[in-house]
Structure 1
Amino acid sequence: MTTWLNSLFVDHALLRIPWRNWGVVESGRLYRSNHPLPWQLAEAARRHGIRSVINLRGHRETCGSDALGREEAAKLGLVHADQPFESRGAPHKDRLLRLIQLYRSLPEPILIHCKSGADRTGLAAGVWHLIQGRDAATAAAELSLRHGHISAARTGILDAFFAAYAEAEARGLDFETWLATEYDENALRAGFRPQPVAAWFTDKVLRRE
């Protein structure tokens, strides 16, 4: 009971019952959502044949939603992997590389999720498009207001990440080469400026991780 109370009220899963924030990144291969409750994960597995889950929040020992999700994934026989990202920080190169490795090694279809399914999930969905050979504009479109992403806030640094690659793409550089040879997360962080009101809203009201 304590785990459920923590999930519903501390981790705000109560809000995720009516708001599923579901999305199809590539049918039959990759799907996205906010942090699923056990029956939501079971329904996704039944309807879409989900075989793997990538948790973009990482392992959180005191989070009820984390414990419930892991338990349900094990019950369903799903592969469960952790690859944490920040919603308001420049993506770390090593974490991006590991995400790509997970995409190429885990059984599909895969479900990716963070807490709200807006920012980190949008980043990971965009990376998926890029390693499939799609362009930066397609990747950046996964960071949308439809999924709750606010580009003017500190979470907009993720948009800046795709914009940085778009410049390299225009020079004919593929994503993985750019990531390995040119991407500079410190420069991205130093050059990004959020709008104060939007940053306050996402940080204090939405409490994005």
Structure 2
Amino acid sequence: MVRDLPTTALPAPPLDAAKRRWAERNMSLVDHGCLRLVYSNRHPLDGQMWRSAQPGRRALAWAKRNGIRTILNLRGERLNCGTYLTERDACQELGLRLVNFPIRSRGMPEKETAHAMASVFEHLEYPVLMHCKSGADRAGLMATLYLHLHKGEPMEVAMRQLSLRFGHVRYARTGMLDFFLERYWRDTGGDRTQFLRWVDEVYDPAVFTREFHASGFASFLVDRILHRE
């Protein structure tokens, strides 16, 4: 089983001109990067953390100009994807630390991943920009955990990060993220000191997956029309 855990991107040779052109075409046309040029879904959580859709070179240059030190990539390392190769290349050019942490938007996290979701914020160099593909689902999950576990915000405040305002559709299969967080909230009363105990003693990914039910229409909209990852 692939372990969904955070790792810092290793140094790589700069992309040559041909590879760079291929990677940027792949990002724009295959990974829908042309749409993100119109809307980046970029929002601050506080003075130390931003959330956004997948950044391209211009967005990463913006991050550098605005004092960002770390990019937290919630899509993970994808060496056959032009978007990832562009991101890694740009981060190296700009002197940004790139941390890859693959989070699933349509599946319950494994217990080990849930532990890493809680602890990753202790090991980043701030300020940080974290992103997934659209900036709606995985970014919303991790924004919720950042505000609740790392900053101490109550769940009723932190959960606002998973909402239609950012493009998140809770009735699709991406609603698994809401289900996971709301069960933790219900079972512990939102006591952040109990999150890891709850993960270890109560949370069961297989059981939670069976108990979750998504709307077929909402899933069709998110998966087939919006092409969410």
TM-score, with structure 2 as normaliser:
0.85
Distance in 2, matches of 1:180 and 1:130, equals 19
One-letter amino acid of the counterpart of residue 36, structure 1: P
2:99 match: 81
1:193 match: 213
**Aligned residue pair count:** 207
One-letter amino acid of the counterpart of residue 113, structure 1: H
Distance in 1, matches of 2:63 and 2:134, equals 17
Farther off after superposition, 80-89 or 99-108: 99-108
* Cα offset, 1:205, TM superposition: 1.1
2:179 match: 160
57, 71, 75: which is aligned to 1:38?
57
One-letter amino acid of the counterpart of residue 201, structure 1: L
* Cα offset, 1:171, TM superposition: 7.8
Distance in 2, matches of 1:154 and 1:166, equals 20
Farther off after superposition, 94-103 or 74-83: 94-103
Distance in 2, matches of 1:181 and 1:111, equals 32
69, 78, 82: which is aligned to 1:60?
78
Farther off after superposition, 123-132 or 111-120: 123-132
SS for the counterpart of 2:84 is helix
One-letter amino acid of the counterpart of residue 45, structure 2: V
TM-score, with structure 1 as normaliser:
0.93
Residues 80-131 of structure 1, C-alpha deviations (whole Å, 9 max, x = no match) = 1111011111122222322333310111011110111100110111111221
Q: Is the 8 A contact 1:129 1:139 kept in 2?
A: yes
Distance in 2, matches of 1:94 and 1:138, equals 26
Q: Is the 8 A contact 2:79 2:85 kept in 1?
A: yes
Counting only pairs closer than 5 Å after superposition, residues 19-168 of structure 1 correspond to structure 2 as 19-27=39-47, 29-47=48-66, 49-132=67-150, 133-168=152-187
* Cα offset, 1:5, TM superposition: 0.8
SS for the counterpart of 1:62 is coil
Q: Is the 8 A contact 2:155 2:190 kept in 1?
A: no
C-alpha spacing 1:94/1:171, structure 2 compared with 1 (3 Å): closer
RMSD: 1.5
Unaligned runs of 5+ in 2: 1-20
One-letter amino acid of the counterpart of residue 72, structure 2: I
